[in-house]
């Protein structure tokens, strides 16, 4: 089968595209014929070696996938051949990745794809959707009528957070770096979108939520906690999930005096049951149109190296040329 893989960590152009043996599904694994995959920033950190993880040799890159069950291992019970499925959390913690024509994935990480949802859409919404759901529902327990702020409303995570927060009944304020992206945020359902390059974000947020923000979802790798804590409501919750090297100052007094709470998480630590709970709501919202994963572009799988470069240019170097997910098809 054709696959995008590395033999050792390195820059984007160290990704090779070529023939590897077809995987055999063992135990409770399911062999998926992959129809679409999506790039996440963590794919680039693992490929570059910035995050050290045990890697199969060779290592097929990628976490997300959508496709059709080809065959099942002897202990797999959940899916029959021919069922359309999507999933995430592959290529992590020693597991093989998904950027190939076929992937053997344990059934505990797969979910049936709703009939009217395309494979590119299911793949694009996978890791970012589960991430958004874990933070909003499991951790922050966002309630209908509350206010939510998220930076980067057209970003991979940001666009999922905007849509799911609206599905949960919140008032949503987000930011973006261009007029086109501001319009896209409003299309996704944001009640207010602020240009973080030209507007005074703090004063616009104060106008929008005079009593403060109930849930502040921080996607920035270098957050400004003095500003954020000042803008939080009494009883506000803050979610941190980016910037593993960040060591910013934290205003302890202003934080605890308002009964605020802080959550940090990495989606790959969530158990299969926690991820499945997220996936069940995601499937409902995908089928009902409340969650339309935002796709920036679709490339052939052979272009994986270029896709990694594009993701890295944006997430790490702030190029601003991406507005959603990069999807690839074998
Ligand atoms: N902990 C976890 O489980 C987890 C899961 C997924 C992702 N992450 C991490 O979360 C981060 C975001 O991931 P992603 O997939 O959403 O990346 P992404 O698609 O590259 O999105 C980044 C977003 O940040 C926005 N942005 C950049 N600079 C900004 C600024 N100064 N002010 C406001 N917004 C700004 C960009 O907006 P413009 O395009 O408008 O400039 C863009 O929307 C990454 O660091 C990733 O590694 C963590």
Cβ–ligand 1 distance for 219 under 6 Å, the answer yes
Cβ–ligand 1 distance for 90 under 6 Å, the answer no
Measured CA to CA in angstroms, residue 99 lies from 19, 92, 294, 309 at distances of 12, 13, 20, 15
For ligand 1, the distance from its centroid to the CA atom of residue 242, given in whole angstroms, is: 8
Q: pTM for the whole thing?
A: 0.98
Quote the pLDDT of residue 247. Answer: 95
Q: Give the model's confidence band at 153: pLDDT under 50 very low, under 70 low, under 90 confident, else very high.
A: very high
pLDDT tens digits, residue range 178-188?
999 999 999 99
Closest-lying ligand 1 atom to the alpha carbon of residue 42: 47
Q: What is the dihedral of CA 276, 260, 315, 120, to 10 degrees?
A: 30
CA atoms within 13 A on the CB side of 159: 24
Closest-lying ligand 1 atom to the alpha carbon of residue 158: 16
Q: Give the model's confidence band at 158: pLDDT under 50 very low, under 70 low, under 90 confident, else very high.
A: very high
pLDDT tens digits, residue range 91-103?
999 999 999 999 9
pLDDT tens digits, residue range 272-320?
999 999 999 999 999 999 999 999 999 999 999 999 999 999 999 999 9
Quote the pLDDT of residue 258. Answer: 98
**CA-CA distance, 310 to 225, in Å (whole number)?**
29
Mutate to test the pocket of ligand 1, among 39, 41, 180 (most ligand atoms within 8 A of CB): 41
Measured CA to CA in angstroms, residue 245 lies from 220, 221, 270 at distances of 12, 8, 21
H/E stretch holding 171 reads strand 171-176
Cβ–ligand 1 distance for 35 under 6 Å, the answer no
Mean pLDDT of 147-155: 97
Quote the pLDDT of residue 47. Answer: 98
Mean pLDDT of 53-70: 97
Quote the pLDDT of residue 56. Answer: 97
Mean pLDDT of the chain: 97
pLDDT tens digits, residue range 246-278?
999 999 999 999 999 999 999 999 999 999 999
Cβ–ligand 1 distance for 266 under 6 Å, the answer yes
Closest-lying ligand 1 atom to the alpha carbon of residue 243: 45
Quote the pLDDT of residue 198. Answer: 98
Q: Which residue has the tokens 């799988």?
A: 301
Mean pLDDT of 61-83: 98
Quote the pLDDT of residue 21. Answer: 98
Q: Which residue has the tokens 């409902």?
A: 284
| Cis-peptide, bond into residue 58, ω within 30° of zero | yes
Residue located nearest, by CA, to atom 31 of ligand 1: 196
Give the angle subtended at the CA of 243 by the CAs of 259 and 316, to the nearest 5°.
Answer: 140
Cβ–ligand 1 distance for 42 under 6 Å, the answer yes
Quote the pLDDT of residue 59. Answer: 98
Quote the pLDDT of residue 114. Answer: 98
Measured CA to CA in angstroms, residue 290 lies from 236, 258, 274, 322 at distances of 25, 33, 21, 22
């Amino acid at each position: 089968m054709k696959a995008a893989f590395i033999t050792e960590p390195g820059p984007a152009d160290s990704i090779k595209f070529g023939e590897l043996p077809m995987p055999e599904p063992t135990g409770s694994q399911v062999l998926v014929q992959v129809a679409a995959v999506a790039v996440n920033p963590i794919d680039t950190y693992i490929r570059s070696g910035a995050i050290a993880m045990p890697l199969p040799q060779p290592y097929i890159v990628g976490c997300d996938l959508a496709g059709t069950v080809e065959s099942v291992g002897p202990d797999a019970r959940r899916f029959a051949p021919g069922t359309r499925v999507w999933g995430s959390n592959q290529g992590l913690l020693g597991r093989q990745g998904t950027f190939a024509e076929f992937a053997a994935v344990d059934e505990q990480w797969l979910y049936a794809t709703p009939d009217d949802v395309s494979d590119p859409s299911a793949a694009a919404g996978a890791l970012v959707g589960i991430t958004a759901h874990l933070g909003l529902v499991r951790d922050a327990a966002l309630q209908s009528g509350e206010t939510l702020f998220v930076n980067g409303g057209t970003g991979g995570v940001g666009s999922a957070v905007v849509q799911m927060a609206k599905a949960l009944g919140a008032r949503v304020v987000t930011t973006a770096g261009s007029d086109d992206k501001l319009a896209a945020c409003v299309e996704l359902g944001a009640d207010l979108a602020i240009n973080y390059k030209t507007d005074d974000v703090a004063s616009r947020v104060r106008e929008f939520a005079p009593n403060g923000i109930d849930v502040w979802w921080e996607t920035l790798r270098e957050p400004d906690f003095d500003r954020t804590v000042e803008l939080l409501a009494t009883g506000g919750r803050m979610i941190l999930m980016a910037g593993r090297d960040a060591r910013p100052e934290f205003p302890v007094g202003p934080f605890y005096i308002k009964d605020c709470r802080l959550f940090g998480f990495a989606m790959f630590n969530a158990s299969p049951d926690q991820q499945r709970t997220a996936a069940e709501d995601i499937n409902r919202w995908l089928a009902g149109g409340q969650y339309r994963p935002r796709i920036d572009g679709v490339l052939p799988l052979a272009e994986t190296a270029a896709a990694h470069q594009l993701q890295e240019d944006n997430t790490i170097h702030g190029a601003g040329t991406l507005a959603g997910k990069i999807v690839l098809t074998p």
